[in-house]
Structure 1
Amino acid sequence: MSALTVVSLDAARGRVPLLARLSYDGEDPYVVEVTFFDGPAVLACWHFDRQMLAEGLHRPVGEGDVTFSPCGTAGADELRVALRGPGAEGQGNAVLFVAARALAGFLEQTYAVTGAGEEFLDLDRLLDEFLAR
């Protein structure tokens, strides 16, 4: 299942809108894949922990390459997503803002597929896939 939403990239010249596709697959129940687009071009694809996204709507979570924190601006509740890329001296870093209502709605749909606490990974199947390569 997937949904499209607009996110805002915090840039030197102000916020820049980007299209984001949020995707969830019950076969990988811990992960929400987010692909960021600028027009038809894919800018980046990140895999986020679903539980961290949900918690980030209410309190700061994460460390290292990815952090989430709630943010309220001008009456619009948002999730602040800070991404640290592989570049030196801040190159590849990004701060994005996602409407909390849109993200919460998407997460509700994911919990309809796989409820909180009902996640399961078939490690035997995963190991068989790795060994087959």
Structure 2
Amino acid sequence: MSASALIAARLDAPRGRVPLLARFSYDAEDPYVVQATFFDGRTTLARWHFDRQMLAEGLHRPVGEGDVRFGPHTEAGGDELRVALRGPGVEMQGHAVLFLEARAIARFLEQSYAVTGAGEEYLDLDKLLDEFLAG
């Protein structure tokens, strides 16, 4: 089972915020991970894998360290999720800041919890070990 949502994003850039789209996906086969693909039209700009719990916590408080940080952001009466990314493939000298509507992220997370409830994540370690040893 899986869940996905198309969510409007805004990239913080020197000339102002640039509108983008993001597809957030969740699959029960990888229960701790949310995949986010950011694109402009038909061009995929970046693909990131986020920890689902950290994404959820980022709606309420700053979390993360290293390459990914989330935190609530309020601007002009709107609640947003601020996403700071750092990595060699990210534009703007290795870092980017994106803003997503917090309610849209919360709705997506609700869909993901319908697939696999919070705290019910389970990895089949035997299967994972078999795949590792086979390949």
TM-score norm. by structure 2 comes to 0.94
Q: CA RMSD in A?
A: 1.0
Query: Structure 1: which 5+ runs fail to align?
Result: none
- Give the C-alpha shift of residue 60 in structure 1: 0.3
In the TM superposition, 1:10-21 aligns within 5 A as 10-21=12-23
Moved over 3 A (4+): none
Task: Tell me the residue number matched to 2:106.
Answer: 104
Alignment coverage as a number of residue pairs: 131
Is 1:132 matched up with 2:134?
yes
Query: Structure 2: which 5+ runs fail to align?
Result: none
Secondary structure, counterpart of 1:91 in structure 2: helix
Task: Tell me the residue number matched to 2:6.
Answer: 4
Which has the bigger relative contact order, CA under 8 A and spacing at least 6? 2
In the TM superposition, 1:42-61 aligns within 5 A as 42-61=44-63
Task: Tell me the residue number matched to 2:25.
Answer: 23
- Give the C-alpha shift of residue 91 in structure 1: 1.3
- Give the C-alpha shift of residue 92 in structure 1: 2.2
Of 64, 67, 77, the match for 1:65: 67
- Give the C-alpha shift of residue 77 in structure 1: 0.2
What amino acid does structure 2 have at the position aligned with 1:2?
Answer: S
What amino acid does structure 2 have at the position aligned with 1:131?
Answer: L
Distance 1:108 1:2 in 2: 11
